[in-house]
Amino acid sequence: MAAYDASVRSRRWHTLLMVACVAAAMLLASISAEVSPVKFLENIHRFPSYIIRLFYLENGQPVWTDFGEWFWGLGRWLRLLSETLLMAYVGTLLGALAASCLAFLGAANVAPARWVRLVVRRFCELCRTVPELVFALLFVIAFGLGPMAGVLAVAIHTLGALGKLFAEVVENIDMKPVEGVSSTGAAWHVAMRFGALPQVMSNFVSYALLRFEINVRGAAVMGFVGAGGIGQDLIEAIRKFYYSDVSAILVMILLTVAVIDSLTSLLRHRLIGLEGKN
């Protein structure tokens, strides 16, 4: 019993020490992040009231009493929303195509040379770690305001993220088909095309679809830095306190994201089902 007590006591001490460490880290962080509980408590009532205020029109009526007034800019917003979707689509596809080429160069089992692999890996890491919006800010300077900067930012980030995932998929393939094709004297790219690509295709598509979901959300905020899409109208509405516009645009974005999510998950499940059949 004494041994049991001792072991419980030592575990308690460990837990307590961990809690103390976490608490100390949080305290230091709160000082640095200028957290003030007083300001928070004084202003917290404004959070629910802000959210509620979003659902009232300028004339003081709740938004659902007059849909025409709530969605007054429907045509413009739908156009911007379709631009956002198109940005996500083009960015994802360009990024995924580039990533699927780089993946074969960056995978440990099939890469043509060690230095190629290292260069590709580092490049993907750089593209992935620098946030999308930073790329967008830089591209806005180079390409001017407009959706093209946003598309390229999405594409670069997708390239980085998918390059890593795709390379991991390629590293997990069965090497026998590749060896078989190579043994007939085929060049490297032929061996990849007929030995490796058929094995990884369904996984590539599945990851690219997941990335598309993420990129729709990402493209929606590209407008915050002037890189096209619905974000431009959203940030303007938030900054100028056009409350009902904010809620209208947010509702439209949320609906679009929900529809895209369920469509892609449907597609991915069908894809996995196809794989099972073969």
Which H or E run contains 25?
A: helix 2-32
Residue 192 DSSP one-character state: I
Among 220, 230, 248, 252, binds another protein (CB under 8 A): 220
Residues numbered 121-140 forming contacts with another protein, rule: CB under 8 A: 126, 129-131, 133-134, 137-139
Q: Is 76 near another protein (CB under 8 A)? A: no
User: How many chain residues touch another protein (CB under 8 A)?
Assistant: 60
Q: Is 230 near another protein (CB under 8 A)? A: no
Range list of H helices, 107-242: 114-129, 132-143, 147-171, 176-183, 188-191, 197-222, 231-239
What is the residue type of 28? L
Residues numbered 36-65 forming contacts with another protein, rule: CB under 8 A: 36, 39-40, 43-44, 46-47, 50-51
Binding mask 178-217 for another protein (x = CB under 8 A): ---------------------------------------x
Q: Is 266 near another protein (CB under 8 A)? A: no
Are 167 and 176 a contacting pair, CB within 8 Å?
Answer: no
Q: Is 29 near another protein (CB under 8 A)? A: yes
For residues 65 and 262, which CB has a smaller minimum distance to another protein in the complex?
262
Among 55, 56, 72, 89, binds another protein (CB under 8 A): 89
Q: How far apart are the C-alpha atoms of 265 and 254, rounded to whole Å?
A: 16
Residues 6 or more apart in contact with residue 56 via CB below 8 angstroms: 62, 63, 243, 244
